[in-house]
A and B are shown apart, each in its own frame.
Chain A
Amino acid sequence: MPQTAAITRMTGAGAPPRLSSFANWADRHFKWLLVAPAVLLILALSIYPLLFSLVVSFINYDFQVPGHAFVGLKNFERVVFDPVARWSLLLTALLSGISVAIEFVLGLAVALAMVRSFPGRGVVMSILIVPLFISPVIVGQAWTLLLQRPFGPTNYILGALLGQEVTIGWLTESPWLYISLVVADVWQWTPFMFVILLAGLTSIPPNLYEAAELDGVNAWQAFWAITVPHLAPMMLLALTFRLLDAIRMFDTIFIMTGGGPGTSTYTASYYLYTVGFTQFHLSQATAGSWLFLIFTALVVTLLVRRLLKVETA
Protein backbone atom coordinates (compact mmCIF):
# COMPACT_ATOMS: atom_id res chain seq x y z
CA MET A 1 0.00 0.00 0.00
CA PRO A 2 1.33 3.43 -0.87
CA GLN A 3 1.96 5.82 1.95
CA THR A 4 -0.69 8.50 2.09
CA ALA A 5 -0.52 11.64 4.13
CA ALA A 6 -3.59 13.30 5.56
CA ILE A 7 -5.33 15.52 3.08
CA THR A 8 -4.98 19.13 3.99
CA ARG A 9 -5.54 22.28 2.07
CA MET A 10 -2.57 24.09 0.53
CA THR A 11 -2.36 27.81 0.09
CA GLY A 12 -4.18 28.94 -3.03
CA ALA A 13 -2.06 29.46 -6.10
CA GLY A 14 -4.48 32.09 -7.34
CA ALA A 15 -4.98 33.14 -10.92
CA PRO A 16 -2.09 33.23 -13.40
CA PRO A 17 -0.38 36.52 -14.28
CA ARG A 18 -2.56 39.02 -16.10
CA LEU A 19 -2.13 39.19 -19.84
CA SER A 20 -0.58 42.17 -21.53
CA SER A 21 -2.99 44.10 -23.69
CA PHE A 22 -1.49 42.56 -26.82
CA ALA A 23 -1.74 39.02 -25.44
CA ASN A 24 -5.29 39.78 -24.39
CA TRP A 25 -6.18 40.98 -27.89
CA ALA A 26 -4.43 38.00 -29.47
CA ASP A 27 -6.27 35.57 -27.23
CA ARG A 28 -9.63 37.12 -28.09
CA HIS A 29 -8.99 36.82 -31.82
CA PHE A 30 -7.01 33.62 -31.57
CA LYS A 31 -8.99 31.59 -34.08
CA TRP A 32 -8.73 34.24 -36.77
CA LEU A 33 -5.03 34.81 -36.15
CA LEU A 34 -4.41 31.11 -36.69
CA VAL A 35 -6.10 31.00 -40.07
CA ALA A 36 -4.85 34.39 -41.24
CA PRO A 37 -1.42 33.44 -42.64
CA ALA A 38 -2.71 30.50 -44.66
CA VAL A 39 -5.74 32.41 -45.91
CA LEU A 40 -3.64 35.43 -46.91
CA LEU A 41 -1.20 33.22 -48.77
CA ILE A 42 -3.97 31.46 -50.66
CA LEU A 43 -5.56 34.81 -51.45
CA ALA A 44 -2.27 36.16 -52.74
CA LEU A 45 -1.26 33.18 -54.79
CA SER A 46 -4.51 31.68 -55.88
CA ILE A 47 -7.41 34.08 -55.71
CA TYR A 48 -5.55 37.19 -56.81
CA PRO A 49 -3.96 35.40 -59.78
CA LEU A 50 -7.35 34.03 -60.76
CA LEU A 51 -8.89 37.49 -60.74
CA PHE A 52 -5.87 38.87 -62.55
CA SER A 53 -6.21 36.19 -65.21
CA LEU A 54 -9.86 37.08 -65.60
CA VAL A 55 -8.77 40.62 -66.44
CA VAL A 56 -6.09 39.36 -68.79
CA SER A 57 -8.58 37.18 -70.61
CA PHE A 58 -10.61 40.25 -71.63
CA ILE A 59 -7.68 42.29 -72.88
CA ASN A 60 -4.94 41.78 -75.42
CA TYR A 61 -1.95 41.00 -73.25
CA ASP A 62 1.30 40.73 -75.12
CA PHE A 63 4.91 41.10 -74.05
CA GLN A 64 5.84 42.74 -77.31
CA VAL A 65 2.89 45.05 -77.79
CA PRO A 66 2.60 47.88 -75.25
CA GLY A 67 -0.86 48.91 -74.06
CA HIS A 68 -3.52 46.36 -73.38
CA ALA A 69 -6.65 46.95 -75.37
CA PHE A 70 -9.98 45.65 -74.14
CA VAL A 71 -11.11 43.04 -76.63
CA GLY A 72 -14.28 41.73 -75.02
CA LEU A 73 -14.94 38.06 -75.65
CA LYS A 74 -12.48 37.75 -78.53
CA ASN A 75 -10.05 35.61 -76.56
CA PHE A 76 -12.82 33.27 -75.51
CA GLU A 77 -14.09 33.04 -79.07
CA ARG A 78 -10.65 32.13 -80.33
CA VAL A 79 -10.52 29.21 -77.91
CA VAL A 80 -14.07 28.05 -78.44
CA PHE A 81 -13.73 28.07 -82.22
CA ASP A 82 -10.30 26.49 -82.22
CA PRO A 83 -10.72 22.87 -83.38
CA VAL A 84 -7.54 21.92 -81.50
CA ALA A 85 -9.06 23.20 -78.26
CA ARG A 86 -12.18 21.14 -78.76
CA TRP A 87 -10.10 18.10 -79.64
CA SER A 88 -7.96 18.57 -76.55
CA LEU A 89 -11.00 18.74 -74.30
CA LEU A 90 -12.44 15.62 -75.88
CA LEU A 91 -9.11 13.82 -75.55
CA THR A 92 -8.83 14.90 -71.90
CA ALA A 93 -12.24 13.43 -71.19
CA LEU A 94 -11.51 10.21 -73.07
CA LEU A 95 -8.02 9.63 -71.70
CA SER A 96 -8.96 10.41 -68.12
CA GLY A 97 -12.21 8.45 -68.32
CA ILE A 98 -10.58 5.35 -69.76
CA SER A 99 -7.53 5.51 -67.48
CA VAL A 100 -9.61 5.98 -64.35
CA ALA A 101 -11.97 3.16 -65.33
CA ILE A 102 -9.09 0.73 -65.83
CA GLU A 103 -7.39 1.89 -62.63
CA PHE A 104 -10.62 1.36 -60.74
CA VAL A 105 -11.22 -2.19 -61.94
CA LEU A 106 -7.59 -3.20 -61.59
CA GLY A 107 -7.24 -1.45 -58.22
CA LEU A 108 -10.34 -3.21 -56.90
CA ALA A 109 -9.07 -6.58 -58.11
CA VAL A 110 -5.69 -6.08 -56.47
CA ALA A 111 -7.33 -4.82 -53.28
CA LEU A 112 -9.51 -7.94 -53.15
CA ALA A 113 -6.41 -10.06 -53.66
CA MET A 114 -4.59 -8.25 -50.87
CA VAL A 115 -7.29 -8.06 -48.26
CA ARG A 116 -6.46 -11.30 -46.50
CA SER A 117 -3.13 -11.80 -44.87
CA PHE A 118 -0.44 -14.01 -46.44
CA PRO A 119 3.31 -14.36 -45.86
CA GLY A 120 5.14 -11.41 -47.38
CA ARG A 121 2.07 -9.22 -47.61
CA GLY A 122 3.86 -6.31 -45.98
CA VAL A 123 6.66 -6.36 -48.55
CA VAL A 124 4.21 -6.68 -51.45
CA MET A 125 2.26 -3.76 -50.04
CA SER A 126 5.39 -1.59 -49.88
CA ILE A 127 6.25 -2.42 -53.49
CA LEU A 128 2.77 -1.83 -54.82
CA ILE A 129 2.57 1.72 -53.47
CA VAL A 130 5.92 2.82 -54.88
CA PRO A 131 4.51 4.43 -58.07
CA LEU A 132 2.61 6.94 -55.93
CA PHE A 133 5.84 8.53 -54.77
CA ILE A 134 7.40 9.00 -58.19
CA SER A 135 7.24 12.18 -60.18
CA PRO A 136 4.99 11.77 -63.24
CA VAL A 137 7.92 13.08 -65.24
CA ILE A 138 9.96 10.07 -64.22
CA VAL A 139 7.04 7.76 -64.90
CA GLY A 140 6.90 9.19 -68.40
CA GLN A 141 10.63 8.77 -68.67
CA ALA A 142 10.50 5.16 -67.51
CA TRP A 143 7.84 4.22 -70.03
CA THR A 144 9.66 6.10 -72.75
CA LEU A 145 12.69 3.94 -72.04
CA LEU A 146 10.55 0.84 -72.43
CA LEU A 147 8.54 1.90 -75.46
CA GLN A 148 10.63 4.14 -77.64
CA ARG A 149 11.88 2.59 -80.83
CA PRO A 150 14.42 1.27 -81.49
CA PHE A 151 15.85 1.34 -78.00
CA GLY A 152 12.94 0.07 -75.91
CA PRO A 153 12.65 -3.69 -75.35
CA THR A 154 8.85 -3.82 -75.62
CA ASN A 155 8.65 -4.71 -79.31
CA TYR A 156 11.31 -7.34 -78.88
CA ILE A 157 9.45 -8.97 -76.00
CA LEU A 158 6.13 -8.91 -77.87
CA GLY A 159 7.86 -10.36 -80.92
CA ALA A 160 9.28 -13.18 -78.86
CA LEU A 161 5.89 -13.90 -77.30
CA LEU A 162 3.97 -13.77 -80.58
CA GLY A 163 6.61 -15.46 -82.69
CA GLN A 164 6.72 -12.73 -85.31
CA GLU A 165 8.42 -9.39 -85.69
CA VAL A 166 6.66 -6.47 -84.03
CA THR A 167 7.45 -2.93 -85.12
CA ILE A 168 4.98 -0.70 -83.30
CA GLY A 169 5.75 2.99 -82.91
CA TRP A 170 4.42 3.20 -79.39
CA LEU A 171 4.98 6.90 -79.03
CA THR A 172 4.36 8.01 -82.58
CA GLU A 173 1.54 5.98 -84.11
CA SER A 174 -2.16 6.17 -83.40
CA PRO A 175 -3.74 4.37 -81.59
CA TRP A 176 -0.62 3.02 -79.85
CA LEU A 177 0.44 6.32 -78.40
CA TYR A 178 -2.89 6.70 -76.62
CA ILE A 179 -2.52 3.20 -75.26
CA SER A 180 0.98 4.10 -74.07
CA LEU A 181 -0.29 7.18 -72.26
CA VAL A 182 -3.07 5.18 -70.62
CA VAL A 183 -0.63 2.45 -69.58
CA ALA A 184 1.70 4.98 -67.96
CA ASP A 185 -1.22 6.56 -66.10
CA VAL A 186 -2.55 3.17 -65.03
CA TRP A 187 0.90 2.19 -63.82
CA GLN A 188 1.20 5.26 -61.65
CA TRP A 189 -2.31 5.57 -60.28
CA THR A 190 -3.77 2.07 -59.91
CA PRO A 191 -2.07 1.97 -56.48
CA PHE A 192 -4.11 5.02 -55.53
CA MET A 193 -7.37 3.16 -56.12
CA PHE A 194 -5.95 0.03 -54.58
CA VAL A 195 -4.88 1.72 -51.34
CA ILE A 196 -8.19 3.48 -50.77
CA LEU A 197 -10.31 0.49 -51.72
CA LEU A 198 -8.21 -1.79 -49.54
CA ALA A 199 -8.78 0.54 -46.58
CA GLY A 200 -12.48 0.30 -47.31
CA LEU A 201 -12.41 -3.48 -47.59
CA THR A 202 -10.57 -4.02 -44.34
CA SER A 203 -13.11 -1.88 -42.51
CA ILE A 204 -15.98 -4.19 -43.45
CA PRO A 205 -16.74 -6.29 -40.37
CA PRO A 206 -15.74 -9.92 -41.10
CA ASN A 207 -18.74 -11.25 -39.19
CA LEU A 208 -20.95 -10.08 -42.05
CA TYR A 209 -19.24 -12.64 -44.27
CA GLU A 210 -19.50 -15.28 -41.58
CA ALA A 211 -23.21 -14.60 -41.23
CA ALA A 212 -23.57 -14.80 -45.03
CA GLU A 213 -21.76 -18.12 -45.05
CA LEU A 214 -24.17 -19.51 -42.47
CA ASP A 215 -27.02 -18.31 -44.66
CA GLY A 216 -25.60 -20.30 -47.57
CA VAL A 217 -24.63 -17.30 -49.69
CA ASN A 218 -21.92 -17.88 -52.30
CA ALA A 219 -18.89 -15.69 -52.86
CA TRP A 220 -20.31 -13.87 -55.87
CA GLN A 221 -23.57 -13.03 -54.10
CA ALA A 222 -21.68 -11.92 -51.01
CA PHE A 223 -19.57 -9.60 -53.16
CA TRP A 224 -22.65 -7.84 -54.47
CA ALA A 225 -24.67 -7.97 -51.25
CA ILE A 226 -21.96 -7.05 -48.75
CA THR A 227 -18.76 -5.79 -50.36
CA VAL A 228 -20.16 -3.41 -52.95
CA PRO A 229 -22.65 -1.56 -50.71
CA HIS A 230 -20.12 -1.16 -47.91
CA LEU A 231 -17.43 -0.05 -50.29
CA ALA A 232 -19.62 2.37 -52.23
CA PRO A 233 -18.65 5.58 -50.35
CA MET A 234 -14.98 4.67 -50.69
CA MET A 235 -15.41 3.93 -54.40
CA LEU A 236 -17.05 7.27 -54.95
CA LEU A 237 -14.28 9.03 -53.06
CA ALA A 238 -11.48 7.26 -54.92
CA LEU A 239 -13.11 7.86 -58.31
CA THR A 240 -13.73 11.53 -57.58
CA PHE A 241 -10.22 12.29 -56.38
CA ARG A 242 -8.66 10.36 -59.19
CA LEU A 243 -10.82 11.86 -61.91
CA LEU A 244 -10.13 15.39 -60.77
CA ASP A 245 -6.41 14.71 -60.98
CA ALA A 246 -6.61 12.81 -64.26
CA ILE A 247 -8.18 15.70 -66.16
CA ARG A 248 -5.04 17.76 -65.51
CA MET A 249 -2.88 15.21 -67.34
CA PHE A 250 0.24 17.00 -68.57
CA ASP A 251 3.58 15.72 -67.30
CA THR A 252 3.66 12.29 -68.93
CA ILE A 253 2.52 13.77 -72.23
CA PHE A 254 5.19 16.42 -72.04
CA ILE A 255 7.86 13.74 -71.68
CA MET A 256 6.45 10.88 -73.76
CA THR A 257 4.94 12.49 -76.83
CA GLY A 258 5.42 16.23 -76.54
CA GLY A 259 1.79 16.57 -77.59
CA GLY A 260 2.59 15.04 -80.93
CA PRO A 261 2.64 13.88 -83.50
CA GLY A 262 1.11 17.17 -84.55
CA THR A 263 -1.55 17.98 -81.99
CA SER A 264 -2.79 14.42 -81.64
CA THR A 265 -1.95 14.09 -77.92
CA TYR A 266 -2.93 17.57 -76.79
CA THR A 267 -4.86 17.43 -73.56
CA ALA A 268 -6.56 20.54 -72.21
CA SER A 269 -3.61 21.42 -70.00
CA TYR A 270 -1.15 20.74 -72.77
CA TYR A 271 -3.11 22.81 -75.25
CA LEU A 272 -3.27 25.78 -72.90
CA TYR A 273 0.41 25.40 -72.16
CA THR A 274 1.36 25.57 -75.83
CA VAL A 275 -0.95 28.50 -76.49
CA GLY A 276 0.46 30.41 -73.54
CA PHE A 277 4.08 29.41 -73.38
CA THR A 278 5.17 28.42 -76.85
CA GLN A 279 2.95 30.69 -78.93
CA PHE A 280 2.77 33.36 -76.21
CA HIS A 281 -0.93 34.09 -76.78
CA LEU A 282 -1.24 34.73 -73.07
CA SER A 283 -4.68 36.28 -73.17
CA GLN A 284 -6.05 33.45 -75.21
CA ALA A 285 -4.50 30.95 -72.83
CA THR A 286 -5.97 32.61 -69.76
CA ALA A 287 -9.37 32.75 -71.41
CA GLY A 288 -9.07 29.06 -72.19
CA SER A 289 -7.90 28.26 -68.69
CA TRP A 290 -10.95 30.06 -67.30
CA LEU A 291 -13.19 27.93 -69.46
CA PHE A 292 -11.34 24.85 -68.26
CA LEU A 293 -11.62 26.09 -64.69
CA ILE A 294 -15.38 26.41 -65.03
CA PHE A 295 -15.51 22.94 -66.52
CA THR A 296 -13.54 21.60 -63.53
CA ALA A 297 -15.62 23.57 -61.07
CA LEU A 298 -18.73 21.92 -62.45
CA VAL A 299 -17.18 18.50 -61.97
CA VAL A 300 -16.04 19.47 -58.47
CA THR A 301 -19.39 20.77 -57.35
CA LEU A 302 -21.17 17.79 -58.83
CA LEU A 303 -18.84 15.16 -57.40
CA VAL A 304 -17.29 16.65 -54.28
CA ARG A 305 -20.46 18.15 -52.87
CA ARG A 306 -22.13 14.79 -53.16
CA LEU A 307 -19.09 13.19 -51.64
CA LEU A 308 -19.20 15.49 -48.62
CA LYS A 309 -22.83 14.55 -48.13
CA VAL A 310 -21.93 10.87 -48.12
CA GLU A 311 -19.09 11.55 -45.72
CA THR A 312 -21.10 13.56 -43.24
CA ALA A 313 -24.23 11.39 -43.47
Chain B
Amino acid sequence: MAAVRSARRPRRGGAPVARFVLLGFFLIFVLWPLYWMFNTSVKPSDDYLATPPVWFPTEPTLLHYEVALFTYRGLEGLINSLIISLSATALSALLGTTMAYSLARYNTGGQHLSFWVLSQRFLPPIGIVLPVFLIYRQVGLYDTHVGLIVAYTVFTLPVSVWMMFAYFRGMPRSMEEAALVDGCTRWEAFWRVAVPLAAPGIVAAAVFAFIACWTEFFFALLLTSRTAFTLPTVFRAFIGFQGAQYGEAAALAIVSLVPSIALGVLAQRHLVRGLTLGAVRG
Protein backbone atom coordinates (compact mmCIF):
# COMPACT_ATOMS: atom_id res chain seq x y z
CA MET B 1 0.00 0.00 0.00
CA ALA B 2 2.72 2.39 1.01
CA ALA B 3 4.65 1.58 -2.15
CA VAL B 4 1.64 2.22 -4.34
CA ARG B 5 1.00 5.51 -2.65
CA SER B 6 4.55 6.66 -2.91
CA ALA B 7 4.69 5.70 -6.56
CA ARG B 8 1.93 8.19 -7.32
CA ARG B 9 3.49 10.99 -5.37
CA PRO B 10 4.52 13.98 -7.39
CA ARG B 11 8.21 14.58 -7.01
CA ARG B 12 11.36 15.17 -8.91
CA GLY B 13 12.53 11.61 -9.52
CA GLY B 14 10.84 8.66 -11.20
CA ALA B 15 9.51 5.49 -9.58
CA PRO B 16 12.28 3.72 -7.60
CA VAL B 17 12.51 0.52 -9.64
CA ALA B 18 12.55 2.30 -12.98
CA ARG B 19 15.20 4.67 -11.63
CA PHE B 20 17.61 1.96 -10.64
CA VAL B 21 17.08 -0.07 -13.81
CA LEU B 22 17.82 3.02 -15.88
CA LEU B 23 20.85 3.94 -13.82
CA GLY B 24 22.10 0.36 -13.99
CA PHE B 25 21.89 0.23 -17.76
CA PHE B 26 23.48 3.61 -18.11
CA LEU B 27 26.34 2.71 -15.79
CA ILE B 28 27.03 -0.40 -17.87
CA PHE B 29 26.86 1.70 -21.05
CA VAL B 30 29.42 4.13 -19.62
CA LEU B 31 31.76 1.56 -18.14
CA TRP B 32 31.71 -1.10 -20.85
CA PRO B 33 33.88 0.69 -23.46
CA LEU B 34 36.33 1.70 -20.74
CA TYR B 35 36.55 -1.83 -19.45
CA TRP B 36 36.99 -3.27 -22.91
CA MET B 37 39.74 -0.79 -23.65
CA PHE B 38 41.53 -1.71 -20.47
CA ASN B 39 41.01 -5.36 -21.21
CA THR B 40 42.47 -4.91 -24.70
CA SER B 41 45.46 -3.04 -23.35
CA VAL B 42 46.59 -5.93 -21.16
CA LYS B 43 45.72 -8.99 -23.15
CA PRO B 44 48.20 -10.73 -25.42
CA SER B 45 47.78 -10.15 -29.15
CA ASP B 46 47.00 -13.83 -29.65
CA ASP B 47 43.69 -13.35 -27.83
CA TYR B 48 42.42 -10.61 -30.18
CA LEU B 49 40.56 -12.80 -32.62
CA ALA B 50 39.47 -15.53 -30.24
CA THR B 51 35.85 -16.67 -30.39
CA PRO B 52 34.22 -16.22 -27.96
CA PRO B 53 36.14 -13.04 -27.14
CA VAL B 54 38.45 -13.11 -24.14
CA TRP B 55 36.41 -11.26 -21.47
CA PHE B 56 39.02 -11.51 -18.75
CA PRO B 57 42.68 -11.62 -19.75
CA THR B 58 44.14 -14.70 -18.12
CA GLU B 59 47.74 -13.76 -18.84
CA PRO B 60 47.85 -9.96 -18.55
CA THR B 61 50.85 -8.29 -20.14
CA LEU B 62 52.33 -4.80 -20.10
CA LEU B 63 53.95 -5.33 -23.47
CA HIS B 64 51.49 -3.06 -25.29
CA TYR B 65 52.28 -0.21 -22.93
CA GLU B 66 55.97 -0.60 -23.58
CA VAL B 67 55.50 -0.64 -27.36
CA ALA B 68 53.05 2.26 -27.33
CA LEU B 69 55.25 4.47 -25.20
CA PHE B 70 58.60 3.71 -26.77
CA THR B 71 58.11 2.38 -30.29
CA TYR B 72 55.24 4.64 -31.17
CA ARG B 73 56.77 7.66 -29.38
CA GLY B 74 53.88 7.73 -26.93
CA LEU B 75 56.22 8.89 -24.17
CA GLU B 76 57.34 11.84 -26.25
CA GLY B 77 53.74 12.69 -26.93
CA LEU B 78 53.00 12.42 -23.24
CA ILE B 79 55.84 14.77 -22.33
CA ASN B 80 54.86 17.21 -25.06
CA SER B 81 51.27 17.10 -23.89
CA LEU B 82 52.36 17.84 -20.34
CA ILE B 83 54.61 20.75 -21.32
CA ILE B 84 52.08 22.28 -23.66
CA SER B 85 48.99 21.75 -21.52
CA LEU B 86 50.61 23.01 -18.33
CA SER B 87 52.07 26.10 -19.98
CA ALA B 88 48.85 26.96 -21.78
CA THR B 89 46.86 26.36 -18.60
CA ALA B 90 49.07 28.69 -16.58
CA LEU B 91 48.87 31.41 -19.23
CA SER B 92 45.16 30.98 -19.67
CA ALA B 93 44.48 31.12 -15.94
CA LEU B 94 46.65 34.22 -15.53
CA LEU B 95 45.26 36.17 -18.47
CA GLY B 96 41.74 34.89 -17.91
CA THR B 97 41.77 35.96 -14.27
CA THR B 98 43.05 39.45 -14.98
CA MET B 99 40.61 40.00 -17.80
CA ALA B 100 37.68 38.56 -15.87
CA TYR B 101 38.47 40.81 -12.91
CA SER B 102 38.40 43.87 -15.10
CA LEU B 103 35.12 42.80 -16.70
CA ALA B 104 33.50 41.89 -13.40
CA ARG B 105 34.61 44.85 -11.30
CA TYR B 106 34.99 47.70 -13.78
CA ASN B 107 32.50 46.54 -16.39
CA THR B 108 35.23 47.18 -18.94
CA GLY B 109 33.89 47.54 -22.46
CA GLY B 110 30.34 46.96 -21.27
CA GLN B 111 28.53 43.85 -22.44
CA HIS B 112 30.26 43.94 -25.82
CA LEU B 113 33.70 42.92 -24.68
CA SER B 114 32.49 40.02 -22.56
CA PHE B 115 30.18 38.80 -25.31
CA TRP B 116 32.99 39.07 -27.81
CA VAL B 117 35.17 36.82 -25.64
CA LEU B 118 32.31 34.39 -25.21
CA SER B 119 31.69 34.25 -28.93
CA GLN B 120 35.26 33.00 -29.42
CA ARG B 121 34.21 29.86 -27.63
CA PHE B 122 31.69 29.06 -30.34
CA LEU B 123 33.85 29.71 -33.40
CA PRO B 124 34.33 26.49 -35.36
CA PRO B 125 38.02 25.57 -34.94
CA ILE B 126 38.33 24.77 -38.64
CA GLY B 127 37.74 28.43 -39.44
CA ILE B 128 40.65 29.47 -37.24
CA VAL B 129 43.06 26.65 -37.72
CA LEU B 130 43.42 26.94 -41.50
CA PRO B 131 44.72 30.52 -41.48
CA VAL B 132 46.67 29.91 -38.28
CA PHE B 133 48.35 27.03 -40.06
CA LEU B 134 49.33 29.32 -42.93
CA ILE B 135 50.54 32.05 -40.58
CA TYR B 136 52.48 29.62 -38.39
CA ARG B 137 54.29 28.27 -41.43
CA GLN B 138 55.30 31.77 -42.40
CA VAL B 139 56.53 32.85 -38.96
CA GLY B 140 58.15 29.53 -38.04
CA LEU B 141 55.75 28.52 -35.28
CA TYR B 142 54.48 25.45 -37.09
CA ASP B 143 55.24 22.27 -35.16
CA THR B 144 56.72 24.14 -32.19
CA HIS B 145 55.76 23.93 -28.55
CA VAL B 146 55.37 27.69 -28.32
CA GLY B 147 53.02 27.70 -31.28
CA LEU B 148 50.67 25.17 -29.76
CA ILE B 149 50.91 26.77 -26.30
CA VAL B 150 49.80 30.11 -27.72
CA ALA B 151 47.01 28.48 -29.72
CA TYR B 152 45.77 26.57 -26.68
CA THR B 153 45.90 29.66 -24.51
CA VAL B 154 43.61 31.49 -26.89
CA PHE B 155 41.44 28.42 -27.30
CA THR B 156 40.88 28.11 -23.53
CA LEU B 157 40.66 31.83 -22.73
CA PRO B 158 36.88 32.14 -23.18
CA VAL B 159 36.34 29.38 -20.62
CA SER B 160 38.83 30.86 -18.16
CA VAL B 161 37.49 34.37 -18.57
CA TRP B 162 33.86 33.40 -18.19
CA MET B 163 34.38 31.05 -15.29
CA MET B 164 36.37 33.67 -13.43
CA PHE B 165 33.96 36.41 -14.44
CA ALA B 166 31.15 34.49 -12.77
CA TYR B 167 33.37 33.80 -9.77
CA PHE B 168 34.31 37.43 -9.22
CA ARG B 169 30.69 38.45 -9.70
CA GLY B 170 29.74 36.10 -6.89
CA MET B 171 32.40 37.56 -4.55
CA PRO B 172 31.54 40.59 -2.40
CA ARG B 173 33.31 43.76 -3.48
CA SER B 174 33.64 45.16 -0.03
CA MET B 175 36.95 43.49 0.81
CA GLU B 176 38.63 45.02 -2.21
CA GLU B 177 37.02 48.34 -1.38
CA ALA B 178 38.29 48.06 2.17
CA ALA B 179 41.76 47.50 0.73
CA LEU B 180 41.43 50.60 -1.46
CA VAL B 181 40.38 52.71 1.52
CA ASP B 182 43.16 51.11 3.59
CA GLY B 183 45.74 52.49 1.19
CA CYS B 184 46.10 50.00 -1.65
CA THR B 185 46.30 50.80 -5.33
CA ARG B 186 43.87 48.99 -7.58
CA TRP B 187 46.58 46.52 -8.52
CA GLU B 188 47.34 45.81 -4.86
CA ALA B 189 43.65 45.35 -4.06
CA PHE B 190 43.46 42.89 -6.94
CA TRP B 191 46.65 41.03 -6.27
CA ARG B 192 46.72 40.98 -2.46
CA VAL B 193 43.00 40.65 -1.73
CA ALA B 194 40.92 39.55 -4.73
CA VAL B 195 43.31 36.92 -6.13
CA PRO B 196 43.88 35.05 -2.84
CA LEU B 197 40.13 35.03 -2.26
CA ALA B 198 39.45 33.78 -5.78
CA ALA B 199 42.06 31.03 -5.53
CA PRO B 200 39.53 28.16 -5.47
CA GLY B 201 37.88 29.56 -8.58
CA ILE B 202 41.21 30.02 -10.31
CA VAL B 203 42.19 26.43 -9.55
CA ALA B 204 38.87 25.17 -10.91
CA ALA B 205 39.20 27.25 -14.08
CA ALA B 206 42.76 25.99 -14.51
CA VAL B 207 41.65 22.39 -14.14
CA PHE B 208 39.11 22.78 -16.91
CA ALA B 209 41.59 24.60 -19.12
CA PHE B 210 44.07 21.78 -18.55
CA ILE B 211 41.53 19.09 -19.43
CA ALA B 212 40.57 20.99 -22.57
CA CYS B 213 44.22 21.21 -23.67
CA TRP B 214 45.02 17.66 -22.69
CA THR B 215 42.16 16.18 -24.72
CA GLU B 216 42.43 18.56 -27.70
CA PHE B 217 43.08 16.89 -31.05
CA PHE B 218 42.18 19.17 -33.94
CA PHE B 219 44.70 21.99 -33.44
CA ALA B 220 47.41 19.51 -32.54
CA LEU B 221 46.71 17.46 -35.66
CA LEU B 222 47.03 20.44 -37.97
CA LEU B 223 49.63 22.60 -36.25
CA THR B 224 52.21 19.97 -35.30
CA SER B 225 53.90 17.07 -36.95
CA ARG B 226 57.12 15.41 -35.77
CA THR B 227 58.38 17.65 -32.96
CA ALA B 228 55.60 19.14 -30.87
CA PHE B 229 53.03 16.42 -31.40
CA THR B 230 50.78 15.74 -28.42
CA LEU B 231 49.44 12.51 -27.02
CA PRO B 232 46.07 12.47 -28.85
CA THR B 233 47.79 12.85 -32.21
CA VAL B 234 49.82 9.70 -31.63
CA PHE B 235 46.59 7.74 -32.25
CA ARG B 236 46.91 8.56 -35.94
CA ALA B 237 49.56 5.87 -36.08
CA PHE B 238 47.05 3.17 -35.17
CA ILE B 239 44.51 3.91 -37.87
CA GLY B 240 44.29 1.46 -40.71
CA PHE B 241 46.37 -1.33 -39.28
CA GLN B 242 43.29 -3.54 -39.10
CA GLY B 243 43.65 -4.83 -35.63
CA ALA B 244 47.34 -5.41 -35.33
CA GLN B 245 47.92 -2.41 -33.05
CA TYR B 246 44.78 -2.52 -30.93
CA GLY B 247 46.69 -3.33 -27.78
CA GLU B 248 48.99 -0.36 -28.26
CA ALA B 249 46.12 1.99 -29.02
CA ALA B 250 44.26 0.84 -25.94
CA ALA B 251 47.34 1.08 -23.74
CA LEU B 252 48.08 4.61 -24.86
CA ALA B 253 44.46 5.57 -24.36
CA ILE B 254 44.55 4.28 -20.78
CA VAL B 255 47.75 6.23 -20.10
CA SER B 256 46.25 9.35 -21.56
CA LEU B 257 42.91 9.32 -19.80
CA VAL B 258 44.22 8.83 -16.29
CA PRO B 259 45.35 12.44 -15.62
CA SER B 260 42.34 14.16 -17.08
CA ILE B 261 39.83 11.87 -15.41
CA ALA B 262 41.61 12.16 -12.07
CA LEU B 263 41.60 15.96 -12.26
CA GLY B 264 38.05 16.06 -13.53
CA VAL B 265 36.65 13.90 -10.77
CA LEU B 266 38.58 15.93 -8.19
CA ALA B 267 37.14 19.15 -9.56
CA GLN B 268 33.65 17.64 -9.75
CA ARG B 269 32.22 20.31 -7.48
CA HIS B 270 32.94 22.96 -10.11
CA LEU B 271 31.83 20.83 -13.04
CA VAL B 272 28.57 22.64 -13.76
CA ARG B 273 30.29 26.00 -13.77
CA GLY B 274 33.01 24.61 -15.99
CA LEU B 275 30.63 23.15 -18.54
CA THR B 276 28.44 26.23 -18.75
CA LEU B 277 31.25 28.79 -18.61
CA GLY B 278 30.04 29.93 -15.22
CA ALA B 279 26.49 30.58 -16.40
CA VAL B 280 25.10 28.05 -13.93
CA ARG B 281 26.23 27.78 -10.33
CA GLY B 282 26.48 24.12 -9.42
Contact = CB atoms under 8 A, between A and B. Distances in A.
Q: Do chains A and B touch in the complex (CB under 8 A)?
A: yes
Contacts of B52: 156
B31 interface: yes
Interface stretch (A4-12, A70-78, A289-297): A289-297
B218 A251 contact: yes
Contacts of B49: 150-151
A94 B282 CA distance: 31
A201 B123 CA distance: 30
A187 interface: yes
B187 A27 contact: yes
Instruction: State the majority secondary structure of interface residues on A.
Output: helix
Interface residues on B, range: 35 or more
Contacts of A232: none
Instruction: State the majority secondary structure of interface residues on B.
Output: helix
A113 B23 contact: yes
B172 interface: no
B48 A292 contact: no
Contacts of A133: 211, 215, 257, 260-261, 263-265
Given A45-B154, A218-B10, A113 B19 contact: yes
A276 interface: yes
A289 B98 contact: no
Given A49-B128, A241-B276, A289-B130, A41 B217 contact: no
B51 to A, nearest CB: 7
Contacts of A191: 30
B61 interface: no
Contact of A116 (B12, B119, B272): B12
B256 A46 contact: no
Contact of A134 (B22, B36, B215): B215
Interface string B218-256: 100110000000011001001110010010011001001
Nearest to A304: B122
Given A50-B128, A255-B235, A115 B13 contact: yes
A131 interface: yes
Given A38-B157, A115-B12, A285 B130 contact: yes
B150 A222 contact: no
Contact of B127 (A19, A42, A53, A234): A53
B22 A135 contact: no
A244 interface: yes
B35 to A, nearest CB: 10
Interface in A188-211: 190-192, 195-196, 199-201, 204, 206, 209
Given A142-B37, A201-B12, A223-B10, 14 more contacts: A35-B99, A41-B95, A52-B135, A56-B134, A127-B30, A134-B215, A141-B37, A141-B253, A145-B249, A187-B33, A219-B10, A226-B10, A248-B126, A272-B126
- Across the A-B interface, give the 5 residue pairs with the lowest CB-CB distance, nearest first: A222-B10, A133-B264, A135-B215, A53-B131, A49-B131
Interface of B: 7-15, 18-20, 22-23, 26-27, 29-34, 36-37, 40, 48-49, 51-53, 95-96, 98-99, 101-103, 105-106, 108-109, 113, 115, 117-120, 122-128, 130-135, 150-151, 153-154, 157, 161, 183, 185-187, 190, 211, 214-218, 221-222, 231-232, 235, 238-240, 243, 246, 249-250, 253, 256-257, 260-261, 263-265, 268, 271-272, 275-276, 279-282
